[in-house]
Each structure stands twice: as structure tokens, then as C-alpha cells.
Amino acid sequence: MESTPSSLPACYEEPAYQVFLDSLDYLSPVEVDRIKAAFVYAAKAHAHQRRMSGEPYITHPLAVAGAVVEWRMDVDAICAALLHDVMEDAGASKHELAEKFGKEVAELVDGLSKLDKMEFASYQEAQAENFRKMLMAMARDLRVVLIKLADRQHNIQTMSAMRADKRIRIARETLEIYAPIALRLGLNKLYRELQDTSFRLIYPHRAAVLARALRTARGNREELLTRILDGIKNKLAHAGLLAEVFGREKSLYSIFHKMREKRLSFSQVLDIYGFRVVVDNVPACYLALGALHGLFKPVPGKIKDYIAIPKANGYQSLHTTLIGPYGTPVEVQIRTRDMHNVAQEGVAAHWLYKDDNESSADLQIKTHKWLQSLLEMQTSDSAEFFENVKIDLFPDEVYVFTPKGKIMALPRGATAVDFAYAVHTDVGNHCSAARINHELAPLRSELRNGDLVEIITSPQTSPTPVWLSYVKTGRARSKIRHFLRTTQNEASARLGERLLRQELLSLGVVPISIPADAWDSLVKSSGQRNMDEVYAEIGLGKRLPSVVARRLLAREDLSGGPGRGNMALAIHGTEGMAIQLAHCCQPIPGDPIIGSIRKGSGMVIHTHDCPAIRKSRSSEPQKWIDVEWEPEEGKLFDIRIKVEVKNTRGVLAQVAAAIAEAGSNIEHVAMDADPERLFTLLRFTIQVAHRNHLAGVMRGMRHIPEVTRIVRERGSEA
């Protein structure tokens, strides 16, 4: 590994490079020599390249390395920052970088390199894959994302020469992805800068108008702000507290976001100024809070204790909103110096403040856990992974308690299902109900700050596609999708095996009599890894059982002749995702039924007389398979019925009682009254075991004198 620099060309003896070298005073001479060598290598690699602004390209890696030095990171990170574009833009190899600068630097640069050599169907797909690679590299080494964020920071600061559409696209990407990652890592200063710069690039006119309004407001409120600041300082001094107090102005983007979200005008956003109080220790934070509540009245419900319950990104402070002079709301944050360091620099505080062991070490552990959770969300689909992680970058959080008193942070809007998956994947996969604050609640219930949540599990319960409509965390979404995919493949394989077996038996061939090499040959010719995958493709409708049977028997004369219809496939109707009962006709055991295999979704069962399939059955008879019910005890099926009744008091209760007496559950009820209000049409969804059970329910209702007509709803009637 080279550690001595080559002689620098004269053109690099410029002020920016000299300032950069001066900032390396916390490193040893040997480490500085390694950095000089990396700079020379990068300068030569980018010698003939220029940025769109016309500047030499080397100014960009130098600026990125300068930002990394501000965080006082180690020599490998600084070298990687200088070399971060040499693989992508100058064709340098990972092996060459490892030889010259060490394996660690080469790994960091590789993690930072984009996937420009790969072909993608769309920009969105390329963006998703690049994002996945960055996060996976980041999960292995946190320095990757810090360098990447510094790279993005400099890029959006220097985009004036770029085309407007490209500028806006990159700024939006920064706002949606990179700024939330900076916040998630606790890099609040960088987070605000990325937001404000992106805002100015996307909405230059709005940003300019807002900046002017802010300057005017600052001038108008100067006397008021000075009065509040002096009042806070005097009160804390009188309480015997040594504190540093300073005002802070809200960022342009945060003001714009508040105006847009709450539909406010600029004059209605009163809390554009806040105050920060920095004290020596944690007890002093609470003493300062008490002192300030004695100075100005606090706003109820606006006191937040992030010291006792830190945010997921390690942020700690006491927040309170006070009613200041003339009714002006005053937002105050109270924290220790260590908390202030972590609040400003997040995970970078680990390198910046070596003496701040407790806060930064705790944050490092939390960040590592989050990064590991990203690895668990891995899927084969980059766009899905991208979506899951974006969901997890929500800045707003709710804090809830487990029955044992452990605090868990979840994104705002998270439900009991999100909580279950946060506890453990198995708890999520089998959650059947929840107790929130000791009361039973539906799984889709949104959680609120301070809720005590207990999950009730059942071995019979499993995820359904409906859960995806209300979960909020990427982890829950990823685990549910994985379960559904696995379950569908297993159920489809079972259905496919039965379909192929039925096809072979109808041709007079017993499956067990077919030699093993014929099965092996079928698997190879289909391009699958095993027979289960072939069965799954048949069950999902991607392969026809007649074609597979022909290949298996190596015969060309099997086109699915007249003998095929002699055997019907037996089903229970409760097999799972591979066999679905059609919503249009809602077949139940006892109904004559027929099945159709839809490509990608398995078999759908209809009644023979379903109006919705009449046209398809006559035009595409080859797509339909004869099926029959196989008895299975204890299973209930949904069915819709219409009941016309005379409009008299208590008739709904009588009908409901008759349904219950017949041993049926009511899942849903709706009413349509006629204009003259003589009759009412009741629409029920009830649960029955089979056709005879339904007949018994209808008989029970006919005994009620007020009931004039009962009809089972079918097909397009629904």
C-alpha cells in the first residue's frame, strides 16, 4: 500500500487545497501523507474533466473531503471522499485502489460508486437500485452514507449551470430521500441545509418571497425578541443556573412546509423564532424548565420530554411552548452541551466529540440496529425495497409501551400490526387482536403517544393483503409481502400438483408409474429448479396442465381431448390464496361450480349460473375446469341475500333473531327504503356452511309475517 504522496502539480498549490491541508491538524503526519497521495491520484484521474460550471472537476472531491474533515472523520473516510468518483468517472478498478490505498478505502469507494454500467428499464428503477446499493453499503459501514450525504450537499450547492428540469429532479430526490436520511441519522444541521437548498432550487420565486418576508419580520420583531431573550437570561441567572441562551430562526423550508400543510399565511406562522437553552447537566434542564414556566405561562399539551424518551435518531431535549409578551408563542428547547452536540451532528458526533462517549455510543448502537433492519427488508424488487425504506424515513414518531414497560418508537399513523412486527416477525404473522390501554381494539387501530399495547396471537391467524392497506412501517410491509408471496407459492404448488394429477388420470396414466428421469427432464426443460416450482406455475395459470402432461409423457397426441371432462377437481373452498371464491356469485358447498385459472392469481371458483362468466364460458371453454365440493366440517362461507319486509317497528330485530336461530352469523347489513316507506329492502351478508344451511336460514325468515320476499344475490345484481 502506498503511503507517500507524489509531487503535487503546481496548479494544485491553490488556496482551497491549502485550507484543506490546514484543517487536517487532528491527524498524524503519516495519515496526512496518505491523504495527499489520494488527492494527487484523484487530481490526475480527473485531470481532463470539468464540472458543468467550467471549474476543474477535482474541486468537487476536494469539497466533499472538506465536509468529511469538518466531522473530523478518520483517514480512510477522507481518502474515500477524495477518490469517490474515480471508479465511476475515471475507470479506476477496486483492485488498484486496494493496492494503493488499502482494502478499506477501496470498499468505501466501491460502496459509493453508482451502477451506471447496468441497464435499467426506467430512471425510477435505476434510482431504486442505486439507493438500495447505497443503503446496503451503509449498513456495512456508516462512513459510506456520511460521505454520500456530503457529496449530495456539495452537488446541490453548485447546480446553477445545470438544466432546469434536471436541477428540479435532483432537488426533489434530495428532499424526499437524502434529507430524511440525514434526519434519521441525527444530522440536523445538514438536514436543514439540504431542505433549504432543495426548496430554493424547486421553488426559487417562493423562496425569494419568503426570505424577504422573514427579513421584514425579523426587523419588526427585533425589540420583542430582545426582550424575551433578556427575560429568559435574567430568570435563569436568578435561579442560579449557568446557561447559554440564544435565539434561532426556523428554516425557510420548515416555514413553507407549515404554511402548506396547515394552510396558513406567513403572518399566521407565529413561531418562526425559537430559543435554545444549553445547560451543564440533566437536572439543570428540568430546573430551567421550571424557572421558565414561572416566567411565562406554558401552553398545555406542548411540553415534550425527549430526554426521558429520546427520538430514534438519538435527539434529546426538553421542548416547551410559552405564551410570551403580547400573546406571542415562544418555543424553547432545553438541553445539555453533549445533547446539543448530538442534536447538531448526530452520528457524526462519534468522530467529532471523542469525550462524548455515552450519547454518541448509544446513538451508534441505535443507528446500527436501524441499518440492520434495512437488511431484513431486502427483497428481489428494488422498487419495493425503495418504497419500504422511504416509508421508514418518517420524521414524526409516536412512542408506545409494551406490557413490560419497554418504549418503542413507531412512525405517526402506525397501527397495532406495525407494533406486532416491531416486536417480532412471528408475533406479526400470527396477531389476531390487540389490547390498547387494556381495552380490546381492532388491528387497524392507530397508535397514539403513551399507548400501552399488547398483542394477542393465534396459530390460525396469518397476514392478509388487507393489512398492506393500513400498515405504515417498511418492516411490516416487507414481512407481510414476503409471507403472502411464500403462502401463494405453496398454495399454488399444491393446486398445480392436483391439476396435473387430474390431467394425467383423465388420460389413463397413474402419476406414480411415470419414471423419475421423465420428471427430471420436465424440470430441466421448464427452466425451474425443482418440481414444486413447476407445480406453482401450473397453479398460477402460467402453464397449462395439458401441455405439461404432454411434455411429461413425451407425446404429441394429447391435446386435452373429450375424456378430460369425466373427472372433476375436488376442492374445499378454504385452500388459501391459490383457490379463491368469486365475489360476484359467492359459491357455497352444494352449489354446482366451475373453475377458471387466471394467470398469476390461481383458480377462481364461480357458480355454474353466475351471470358474470356467461360470455367467457361460451367464447373460451378451454379456460374452464370442472370442479366439485369436497365436504369439510366447520367451515363458513359468506353469502349475500336480499330480504324485503313491511316497514314496521322492530322488523330488523325479528329478521336478525331468525338468522341467529338458524345458526348463521351476520357479517354486514344495509337498508334501502322505498319512497312511500311501505316496504324496506334489507341486504345481508351472512355466513353459512353449505347450500342446505342457507335454505334453513331462508325458511326461518319466511315464518315472519312481515317478510314479503327473500332472494339470494348473484353476479351483477350485487
Q: Nearest 5°: phi and psi at 309?
A: -125, 90
Q: Are 479 and 379 in contact (CB under 8 A)?
A: no
CA distance 256 to 327: 23
Q: In what order do the strands lie in the sheet with 637-646?
A: 665-673, 679-688, 637-646, 707-712
CA distance 704 to 162: 78
Which of 61, 336, 346, 76 has the alpha carbon at shortest distance from 191? Answer: 346
Q: Are 483 and 525 in contact (CB under 8 A)?
A: no
Return the H-helix or E-strand segment holding 157.
helix 143-157
In order of 20, 36, 96, 167, the CA distances from 30 in angstroms are 16, 10, 21, 40
CA distance 704 to 686: 18
Rg (alpha carbons) of the chain, rounded to whole number: 34
> What are the cell numbers at 211?
426570505
Residues annotated as catalytic are 88-89
CA angle 305-308-312, nearest 5°? 90
CA distance 251 to 236: 27
* 311 phi-psi bin (left φ>0, alpha ψ -120 to 50, beta other): beta
CA distance 652 to 665: 15
Pairing of strands 304-305, 318-323: antiparallel
CA distance 312 to 301: 21
Cell numbers 454520500 correspond to what residue? Answer: 148
Q: Is 189 exposed, middle or buried (0-12, 13-18, 19+ CB in 10 A)?
A: middle
How many other CB atoms sit within 10 Å of the CB of residue 483? 17
In order of 224, 252, 254, 538, the CA distances from 217 in angstroms are 11, 13, 16, 69
CA angle 83-183-412, nearest 5°? 145
CA distance 637 to 691: 10
> What are the cell numbers at 683?
341486504
